[in-house]
């Protein structure tokens, strides 16, 4: 039986696919972090852990009938938070560099 079309929201299949993709990204990130063979894969895994952790906040929005617009808004909010945290970390690094140079 085919699923009913909801022009305003996600279908059950779309919501489940997005949810499983996010969970798959998190699992793949953990595999990359804990593998003992390659430092490059570890670096990729470390970045993927951060991205996956932030993307995991979108899982509650992955429900049938929920508008895709809400998922996109949530994704943009998560992206803005990531950019703000990166800028704060870079700013703290610069301030620490100035502090160390003053000694």
Percentage of the chain surpassing pLDDT 70? Answer: 93
**Domain-located, residue 69:** yes
Domains of the chain: total: 1
Look at residues 49, 50, 32 and name the one whose alpha carbon lies nearest to residue 89: 50
C-alpha 96/C-alpha 59 separation (Å) is: 37
**Domain-located, residue 73:** yes
pLDDT at 9: 84
Mean pLDDT over all residues of the chain?
89
Which residues constitute the domain of residue 71?
Answer: 12-102
**Domain-located, residue 59:** yes
**Domain-located, residue 27:** yes
**Domain-located, residue 1:** no
**Domain-located, residue 2:** no
pLDDT, mean of residues 74-92: 92
C-alpha 84/C-alpha 16 separation (Å) is: 30
pTM of the model: 0.73
Joined together, the tokens standing for residue 79 give 């992206």
Confidence of residue 2 (pLDDT cuts 50, 70, 90): low
Contact 27, 15 (CB under 8 A): no
Look at residues 103, 16, 102 and name the one whose alpha carbon lies nearest to residue 61: 16
Q: Above 70 in pLDDT, residue 98? A: yes
């Amino acid at each position: 039986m085919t699923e009913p079309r909801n022009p305003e929201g996600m279908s059950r299949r779309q919501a489940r696919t997005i949810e499983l993709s996010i969970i798959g990204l998190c699992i793949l990130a953990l595999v990359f972090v804990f593998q003992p063979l390659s430092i490059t894969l570890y670096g990729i895994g470390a970045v993927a852990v951060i991205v996956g952790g932030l993307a995991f906040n979108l899982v509650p929005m992955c429900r049938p009938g929920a508008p895709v617009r809400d998922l996109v808004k949530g994704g943009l909010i998560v992206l803005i938070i990531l950019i703000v945290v990166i800028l704060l970390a870079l700013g703290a690094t610069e301030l620490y560099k100035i502090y160390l140079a003053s000694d």
